[in-house]
A and B are shown apart, each in its own frame.
Chain A
Amino acid sequence: MHSQVKFPVSLQETWAILKEEPGAFLVAGGTDSIPRANQRIEFHPLYVCLDRVPGLKGWSLEGETYTIGAMTTLVEIQESGLDPSLGALLQAASQVASPQIRNRATIGGNILQENRCIYFNQSVSWRRQDCCFKLGGNLCYQYRGSKDCVALFQSDVAPALMALNGSVVLESPRGQRVLPLEQIYLNRGRNNKALEKDEVLTKVLIPADKRLRSAYVRETIRGSIDFPLISCAAAFWMEGERIAQAQIVVGCAGVRPARAQRAEGLLVEATLSQVPELLPKVVEEAKRVIMPFRDSRVDGPARKTLGGEAVRKAILSLLAPAGQ
């Protein structure tokens, strides 16, 4: 079976294709979807490549908002010279997979990447007869007894953008809407993006703030190529030495990145010098948002333990004096 490939040159043409062809599948860099096609895990009769749609690349600072085009590659973000206050995004983009992947993979594609699990994302010949939820069956190999698919969402960029209060611009023939990143992920492992079929993610918006400092830490077995086992993006909005607002987002926590709100609450109003003392409690609270699902490499408890480490490292890296 082969797929047709189309290269629309405008959003209007993209929407027209999406309307006419029910099997159309949008491709940005292709580093998430083409491997699945190569492995015969999934098939799409039509790829709609966004390479030639104008206006989807590059970044700018307009007023108080950073705007990043959805087709901007991760290496372009890594080399962009974006403000160090967006450290979480820069660190996340520069740690995704390998240099070759980052040269193709885009920020939009990374945000909308498919959830992954031990059963679905393996060679077809290894699959057993009873299908999982994602394949139309009614069981989950990732977490037995689960009533729905709980494939992990393993994006590096998404938790970083969530910690930075990022949002996305979705454009359709009906106009455009801006959705906070937190709201585009639904609470299930399959079809878990709150996008309409004809909506195209065109931009990522991040509010600029001089008081912001942020960091991203991921835990993996190998130093590169791997998806993270667990990760943490942390952001502080400072007023002098005092933390006015804190956001901690755990990536790979489950079917979507998870905000650790109780952990954040412990840090608000604290000064930076008080943070080491608060840290054990913060880490314990943050670990609670990590679902006990296994990964193909480690089990649930290991992911939780590593998650605590990621949170600890991310917060500690925010304690260094500004400008260091």
Chain B
Amino acid sequence: MPTNLPPLCLTITVNGQKRQDWIIPDMTLLHYLRDICGLFGTKKACGAGECGACTVLLNGRPVYSCITLAAQAMDCQVETIEGLGQDGKLHPIQEAFLECGAVQCGFCTPGIILTAKAFLERNHHPSDQEIRQALAGNLCRCTGYVQILEAVKLAAEKMYGKEA
């Protein structure tokens, strides 16, 4: 929608890369990532902070980018699903999701993987209940969550080994 408002200069680090962009002031972080950075792995679904498809990591914590203003992420570190794999190699959580069949349509997957990443960094050997609670803000309409739970457990093992 056209606007006469003066643009806002956003400085931000996205997936380790420092950026400076002139944006519409009330643009959400979701639209900034998709429309300006061209990072389409972050999905738009409900737009109301209820489904988790737009989850990204803001300073290492999962947040809903659809209800966060891009301007509120000024000078912050943002991580999207595109930032996970390195040198053409998948992140262990991504590998675990493929191995467990935890991806069906895939729309919720980027958000779930990012939530799981932030969670596993804080909790290396989680219980099933802890995983369920950590993923409670991400809805999936296909897999029924069982494979997702298995995948997060497998990812924890891949990253941090079995609990002693």
Bound state CA distance, A35 and B64, in angstroms? 11
A302 at the interface (CB under 8 A from B): no
Which of A47, A75, A99, A103 has the most B CB atoms < 10 Å from its CB? A99
- A39-B47, A97-B137 known; A49 vs B115 contact (CB < 8 Å): no
A102 to chain B, nearest CB (A): 9
The answer, among B1, B67, B69, B139, for a CB contact under 8 Å with A35, is B67
Q: How large is the interface on A (under 10, 10 to 19, 20 to 34, 35 or more residues)?
A: 20 to 34
Residues of A within 8 A of B25 (CB): 2-5
B134 CB–A CB distance under 8 Å: yes
- The answer to whether A31 and B67 touch across the interface, beta carbons within 8 angstroms, is yes
B63 at the interface (CB under 8 A from A): yes
Q: 1/0 contact trace for A1-24 toward B, CB 8 Å? A: 111110100000000000000000
Assess whether A1 is in contact with B1, with CB atoms less than 8 Å apart.
yes
- Asked if A51 and B55 make an inter-chain contact with CB atoms under 8 angstroms apart, the answer reads no
Partner of A100, one of B8, B26, B28, B64: B64
A44 to B72, CA, bound (A): 17
Q: Closest residue to A98 on the B side, CB-wise?
A: B137
Asked if B99 CB lies within 8 Å of chain A CBs, one says: no
- What does the 1/0 interface line of A46-68 toward B look like (CB < 8 Å)? 01010100000000000000000
Shortest Cβ distance from A1 into B: residue? B1
A5→B24 CA distance, assembly (Å)? 9
Mark out the residues of chain B between 20 and 52 whose CB falls within 8 Å of any chain A CB in the assembled complex: 24-26, 28, 47-50, 52
How far is A261 from B90 in the complex, measured between Cα atoms in Å? 59
B28 touches A38 (CB 8 A): yes
Assess the A100–B72 pair: CB atoms within 8 A: no
* Bound Cα distance from A64 to B74, whole angstroms: 37
CA distance A4 to B26 in the complex (A): 6
Instruction: Judge whether A75 and B61 touch: CB under 8 Å.
Output: yes
Is A101 in contact with chain B by the CB < 8 A criterion?
yes
Q: Which residues of B contact A4 (CB under 8 A)?
A: 5-6, 25-26
Which residues of chain A are within 8 angstroms of B47 by Cβ–Cβ distance? Answer: 35, 38-39
Chain A, residue nearest B8 (CB) = A5
Cβ contact within 8 Å between A101 and B1? no
A100 close to B1 (CB less than 8 A) = no
The A224-273 residues at the B interface (CB cut-off 8 A) are 224-225
Which residues of chain A are within 8 angstroms of B50 by Cβ–Cβ distance? 225
CB distance from A233 to the nearest CB of B (A): 21
B68 at the interface (CB under 8 A from A): yes
Most buried by B among A3, A27, A104: A104
Report the minimum CB–CB distance from A132 to chain B (whole Å): 20
The reply to whether B62 and A38 contact each other, CB–CB distance below 8 Å, is no
Are B3 and A2 touching (Cβ within 8 A)? yes
Across the interface, do A224 and B26 meet the contact criterion of CB distance under 8 Å?
Answer: no
Determine if B136 is an interface residue (Cβ-Cβ < 8 Å).
yes
Taking the closest CB of chain A, its distance from the CB of B116, in whole angstroms, is 11
Given contacts A31-B67, A47-B26, A49-B71, contact A98 B136 (CB under 8 A): yes
Could you mark each residue 83-123 of chain A with 1 if its beta carbon is under 8 Å from any beta carbon of chain B, else 0?
00000000000000111110110000000000000000000
Q: How far is the CB of A49 from chain B (nearest CB, A)?
A: 6
Interface centre among A7, A97, A103, A225, by most B CB within 10 Å? A103
A103 and B58: CB pair below 8 A? yes
Residues of B within 8 A of A179 (CB): none
Cβ–Cβ contact B136 & A2, under 8 A: no
Which residues of B pack against A, CB within 8 Å? 1, 3, 5-6, 8, 24-26, 28, 47-50, 52, 55, 58, 61-64, 66-69, 71-72, 74, 115, 133-134, 136-139
Residue pairs across A and B with Cβ atoms less than 8 A apart, 19 shown, are A2-B3, A2-B25, A3-B25, A5-B25, A5-B69, A30-B69, A31-B49, A34-B28, A34-B67, A37-B26, A38-B28, A49-B71, A49-B72, A98-B52, A99-B115, A100-B115, A100-B137, A101-B49, A104-B64
Q: 9 closest pairs, A vs B, by CB?
A: A98-B137, A224-B136, A35-B48, A3-B26, A5-B25, A2-B3, A34-B67, A103-B61, A100-B137
7 A-B pairs besides A30-B72, A100-B52, A103-B63 with CB distance below 8 A are A4-B26, A30-B67, A97-B137, A100-B64, A224-B136, A225-B50, A225-B139
